Amino acid sequence: MKIYGDLESGNCLKVKYVADYTGIDYDWIPIDITQNESRTESFLAINPLGQVPVVAWDDGRTLAQSNAIIRFLANGTELLPDDPFKQAQIDQWLFWEQYSHEPYVAVCRFHMHYLGKSKATREDWRVKRGEQALDSMENHLSSREWIAGEAFSIADISLLAYTRVADEGGFELNRRPHVQRWINQCEERLKLK
């Protein structure tokens, strides 16, 4: 399996985290999105949408969209229970991550971290939605150990990717102790520290 990704991208790191945790063998193919490497003819042949992450197998199959990829890779592992309702509980957080968290937290981080722009130049409406997403997580995690169900899952990995670097987008993690505790737990599980 080949993972095409940029190591600065949380969406790509989700895939790496799941592959490393579950022991899946892969080749990492670096794609530097700042150098438009996701727009070359050879890359567009793998993902016509021009985005990383994308995964390719020797038999010609490809799969894009970080949460679809991690959901597929996690099948049959402890990161995704077999029970359909428990899977749906995880899915609700994967969808929430893409609709209510990533477009705000990750895009503010892109603005500052990738483009080198100042915190003051972030879009107010986007900052507001990012703060709301992190507050929702703080509230949710105040009474639970993990994001979905009783165990560490791909819901945690999906949300971890951009939450752990939210400070690079100008968001304060210091005043969110439950989120911080959860980040530490996830990082320990993934051996990121």
Ligand X SMILES: N[C@@H](CCC(=O)N[C@@H](CS)C(=O)NCC(=O)O)C(=O)O
9 touches ligand X by CB under 6 A: yes
Residue from 19, 43, 46, 53 binding ligand X (CB under 6 A): 53
38: contact with ligand X by CB under 6 A = yes
- Give the shortest CB-184-to-ligand X separation in angstroms: 24
Count the residues of the shown chain that bind ligand X, applying the rule CB under 6 A: 12
Site string for ligand X, 80-99 (x = CB under 6 A): ------------------x-
Least Å from the CB of residue 145 to ligand X: 25
The answer to whether 103 contacts ligand X (rule: CB under 6 A) is no
Decide whether 21 or 43 has the Cβ nearer to ligand X: 43
- Kindly state whether residue 50 participates in binding ligand X, applying the rule CB under 6 A: yes
Q: Give the binding range for ligand X (CB under 6 A) out of 51-59, 86-94, 114-122, 184-192.
A: 51-59
Asked if 33 contacts 20 with a C-beta cutoff of 8 angstroms, the reply is no
Tokens of 103: 């477009």
CA distance readout (Å), 6 to 13, 18, 52, 131, 138: 8, 15, 7, 26, 28
For the bound state, the minimum distance from the C-beta of residue 183 to ligand X, rounded and expressed in Å, comes to: 19
- Tokens, residue 24: 């899946």
Least distance from ligand X to the Cβ atom of residue 93, Å: 14
- Asked if residues 5 and 15 have their Cβ atoms less than 8 Å apart, the reply is yes
**Distance between CA atoms of 5 and 58, rounded to whole angstroms?**
17
- 33 touches ligand X (CB under 6 A): yes
Nearer to ligand X, 54 or 134 (CB): 54
Minimum Å distance from CB 9 to ligand X? 4
Q: Under the rule (CB under 6 A), what is the footprint of ligand X?
A: 9, 11, 33, 38, 50-53, 65-67, 98
